[in-house]
Chain A
């Protein structure tokens, strides 16, 4: 415990030193962060398997509350996830940080951001938690604004700051409700006192809003695709891969730990929002042409999948189907690990493309597989993993979620029985669309021919960035091959939150994954991988053995269209067009206008498409308008004379006193 706190403190110090020294600062900060996060990762793992939770109270902060810290298995698990991804990002940063123009802006805040993320998960009282939460928001806001010269970055920063303060405010209210009239701000006291069902329900919904706003739950996700891509790539990776997971942690902590058994109706709410988030997130990702924004939208989708898992766990826990709850929660946490790894990997790849070409627009890239072979390979693994292709890790968590969905007949409530298949359908749709989305990402960016000079002249990135990407890709494969190890590692968390855990997977025959019983379904990533290797090898052998040996050379991409102009290639927009016509016309009121010049006119024909953001127009624009209106209304108050101000104060005092007199 003390070691973990010291590690976090050391991260803060590293940030401070990084701001002071000028030469060699990037290397110092990133190497320091890399070493410290590895140590913290080890600390998280040891807490995950520790027999008893470690706790520590420091006389910091508000005098009679102090600062409480606690490392139970769940905190240890999230600490390990955070620091694993953070170590990758730091390794990546050693190389990537060299090209950074706004170095000092990032170097101070980067280790602080890591420290704040760690502090949130080990906090054990409301004050410390909210302090760390706000620190995390503020520092990441500073990182988003690193390239503040661009107006859209400033706008993203503003929207992000608004949403972050909103989420902090809602969480403050949540803890206020949980603390009750006596003000039990320590989590231990909150655990001991169970609030009435009405208060627990309100607190649960507030927690969902507060953490959902940070995680990117629809309709509170509007800031995410703006803010995440605006930051430097390794920070984007952390924001998408890790910060959203910290929000998930906060939701789990409040729902399962502080409140006890969640009610069934709350599970329905979570399931509905999770399904919507998964579906809408991936559809918007599909329509997006910007590499990093596409990844940010895909984060929204993955948050939806995780929330579906959590919703299922809540439903099963409310109905007393403990093993189902353990299965669903294991799936959700498995997905947390997966997404933390492959989303950071994909953002690293996007950053590599960005630093090699200076482009984020996919329709100006292409053919990068020849220029950046290792980056392309790592990206291919990441894209396959996020598309849930076996034998990679993404498949396991989605398969587990589906296994939990199939346990639905065990539930007594009809509402849930009907809701869960709908979520299953949405999940299946999202999984399929993810495949399409990442085929588009990889195909347009790395295959084909270069669409711009920048893409033509790109060269492979430095070795630290490549090492970070390849390590993440290897981890993805390992988790896919041996998922039982992670399931077993999750067992302490399950026992802590639900009281039961899944059967020990490493004892299963052939390293298979058998969550409930062999009759219900089992999965063996290793066998699939071996089968793939063997069958691919056989095919290669057969082709080489029996096919004609004569070498033929033919023009590439010459499908009856021998035009050398790369502009004639398929683009991301053309790839997404069929799906856009099917889904987006009604969901996002997407609109296409085709302008054909009249006969005889040599002007080019144009096709224009517009997507008004419905959620923005429905929720955010009216709120912004109302705030602006009220502000204008009160604006004259800024320009009163001193006497008038005194008079206003006086009038307010007298009014309050009169109110008091009448009220008595």
Chain B
């Protein structure tokens, strides 16, 4: 049977998209391309992230009404909540990068995974410290075994585990693959850990921000918080890319393009 033009075109279009995606994917795996493009992205993303952070912080810290129960002390949520949210999200970003490196053997995904770990651990630490500071006026002590704080502490151990495993291996190719497996096991476990800790601490405060149901937090407090979360995500991306760029330069130090780069600067 003979089919004229149209069917030919229909089969052509997806293959063009697939080819374009494949090219993009291929480029992602190329260190010089990634180095250049991440430099360009950082040039505008970093100022934008800092601006968003400053605006969000000023808005939240200076221009919102005090909470009727907690007074001004609640304002630490503008640091604590974004740090906690991005720390958890960071683990999943790390695990996804690990899965990509395991499945498609992409070196750059590998670098992204290893770059995400210390950033995520630092954010988890910030969330823990701010949570502890928040606990002092709220509960009268620096440390309470509250469900969220406990989960954050476990998350910190999960991050440290990935970093310790990487350091323990001499063969760094094997190390990053082992870390990817560990991070994937972690992603399956994190929901179970969070749920079980939630259940364990049955007296915890109900989660305040629910995007699906009604929100118990006042919109005037919510909007700056959302802005801060966006700013933290952008900062996470910046730190991730900056970290990756250093690793790329280190691993590719013997190649021509890095030498040219050094000569130019």
Q: Do A and B bind each other?
A: no
